[in-house]
Amino acid sequence: MSQRREERRSSYTKAIGAIAWKDLAAELRSKELLSAMLVFSLLVIFIFNFSLELDVKTRNSVTSGVLWATFAFAGTLGLNRSMSIEKDRGCLDGLLLAPVDRSAIYFGKAISNLAFMLIVEAIVLPIYSILYNTNLFKPGLLLVILLGSLGYTAVGTLLSAMSVQTRTRDVMLPILLFPIILPVLIAAVRASGGYLQNLPFDQILPWLNLLIVYDVIFTAIAFMVFDYVVEE
Amino acid sequence: MQTKPSALKALDIFSLILLAVATYLALVFAPTERVMGDVQRVFYFHVATAWVGLLGFVAAGITGIIYLRTQDLKWDLVEQAAVELSLVFFFIAIVLGSIWARPIWNTWWTWDPRLTSASIVELIYLAYLMLRQGIEDPDRRARFGAVYTLVGAISVPITFVSIRLFRTIHPVVIGSESASAQGGFSMTPDMKTAFFFALFAFTVIFIDLFWNRIRLGQLQQKVEQLKLKVME
């Protein structure tokens, strides 16, 4: 009995791994999603540079805001693309036919979306550091970026699965996502700003807690309702 | 089904009377506040409409869950009615609040938790209505709508908390007041009468409109079914 349960569990994680790996392998070959996200994020940073006049004085206080706005915008690009590929090529139907729990599809997609986001962030951060001569490599900041991206993709994967099935598709995702994702952005901006301005840890901690709570709650919610989103 | 139930007719008239009495109590009966003057009279309707907006918000979240459990389209109707009412009443509350805030806070708007959360609810519900518009299949429309109200119902309180981590200047007239709040006051018995009557009146008006809206939805469904029948 317990052996069978063990088997089922291992097939579940295998299914998640297979779905995430499929996305990553396809992306490594075509690189269309990552390159679009990257170029787009660099353009957003350029726009911010001229619209905000990022001089030395203001830079410290707005850097975290600029970074998170960039990630949020670039993220919708990736989420949209990653789901519409599934939809357009009929791949989603194939996945739904597979004899695995549907939440495995959600976790697989969420993991690959998170990976794309982290890759983009890993390239944007050093470029930003060079352009503005600020050191962004603080372990705390990296933790905030990980937690923030986690919450972002947890909700984003669920909502993008919904938005690709509507008539207006691409337009719909940011409209659905941004009001829901607001707590993550507030907390992530505050926490990253705290680390960049070297605030004491007890002022950053509430924001970190908030991020963790949000991540846990929304991963759980998405896990529970994903079935209803992909049901035919 | 075709004719309006007489109980609903009676409730319509009753809520009209209540609205008239509440207006009288707020504008004439209640004493003028010593510091703020007549503009404080906005408070009675402001709190009442915000309360009713909150009722709609909670009702939408709960009916969303019930719909997902039962898959009965009747609950989708109720949910949509709750969303629309919440949208309208929160909007009224925000506008009334702005009218009060202009002379008291010396600004139309501030990014306070209550103000921001109410406006985020507005944005989420607008997104909800757009989402529904983009989906033809009634079952899928209902499922996506329910998932989205559920996600929104959980996200908004977190938004509220996350902004609360900053300070707030919104006065708390009932319950404990935060030190930085501006424009608070204590109510005289006559003010309390006007206040609680307005709360009661708007709750009844809400129920009346809710009922009417659900009935409208049922009629819409019937028209759609008849249309399909004619086409056959």
Asked whether residue B33 is domain-assigned, the answer is: no
Give pLDDT, residue B176.
Answer: 55
Asked whether residue B27 is domain-assigned, the answer is: no
Asked whether residue B13 is domain-assigned, the answer is: no
Give pLDDT, residue B2.
Answer: 66
User: What DSSP letter does each residue of B95-120 carry, written as one string?
Assistant: HHHHHHHHHHTSSS----HHHHHHHH
Given a cut of 60, is residue B167 above it in pLDDT? Answer: no
CA A14-A17-A19 angle, 5° bins = 110
Strands, E, within B87-225: which ranges? none
**Total structural domains within chain B:** 1
Asked whether residue B117 is domain-assigned, the answer is: yes
Domain that holds residue B225: 39-168+186-231
A29 close to B (CB below 8 A): no
Strands, E, within chain B: which ranges? none
pTM for the predicted model, two decimal places:
0.88
Asked whether residue B47 is domain-assigned, the answer is: yes
pLDDT in tens, A146-188: 999 999 999 999 999 999 989 888 789 999 999 999 999 999 9
Give pLDDT, residue B232.
Answer: 76
* CB neighbour list of residue B2: distance below 8 Å, 6 or more residues apart: none
Residue A97 has which token pair?
């036919």
In angstroms, rounded to a whole number, what is the distance separating the alpha carbons of residues B117 and B170? 13
Asked whether residue B21 is domain-assigned, the answer is: no
Q: Which residue of B has its CA nearest to A231?
A: B140
Residue B137 has which token pair?
């299949």
B120 close to A (CB below 8 A): yes
CB B205 within 8 A of CB B15: yes
Residue B156: alpha-carbon gap to chain centroid: 14
Asked whether residue B11 is domain-assigned, the answer is: no
B130 close to A (CB below 8 A): yes
Mean pLDDT on B208-229: 90
pLDDT in tens, B37-74: 888 888 899 999 999 999 999 999 999 999 999 998 89
Asked whether residue B90 is domain-assigned, the answer is: yes
The gap between the terminal CA atoms of chain A, to the nearest Å, is: 33
B161 and A158 in contact by Cβ < 8 A?
A: no
Q: In Å, how far is A2's CA from the nearest CA of chain B?
A: 30
Q: In Å, how far is B124's CA from the nearest CA of chain A?
A: 6
Beta-carbon contacts below 8 Å between A and B: 85
| A-proximal residues of B, 163-202, CB under 8 Å | 163, 165
Across the interface, of B146, B148, B158, the residue whose CB is closest to A176 is: B148
CB B61 within 8 A of CB B150: yes
- Burial label, B19 (beta-carbon count in 10 A; 0-12, 13-18, 19+): middle
- CA neighbor of A74 nearest in space, from A211, A174, A6: A174
B147 and A228 in contact by Cβ < 8 A?
A: yes
Across the interface, of B131, B134, B162, the residue whose CB is closest to A183 is: B162
B159 and A168 in contact by Cβ < 8 A?
A: no
When mean pLDDT is compared across A3-17, A22-36, A60-74, B164-178, the lowest value belongs to: B164-178
Chain B CB contacts of A217 below 8 Å: 154, 158
| B-proximal residues of A, 35-64, CB under 8 Å | none
Mean pLDDT on B109-120: 86
- Gyration radius of chain A's alpha carbons: 19
Q: In Å, how far is A131's CA from the nearest CA of chain B?
A: 31
Determine the 3-state secondary structure of B37 from DSSP. strand
Chain A CB contacts of B130 below 8 Å: 168, 172, 175
* CB neighbour list of residue A27: distance below 8 Å, 6 or more residues apart: A33, A34, A112, A116
Arithmetic mean of pLDDT over chain B: 87
pLDDT in tens, A86-96: 888 888 888 88
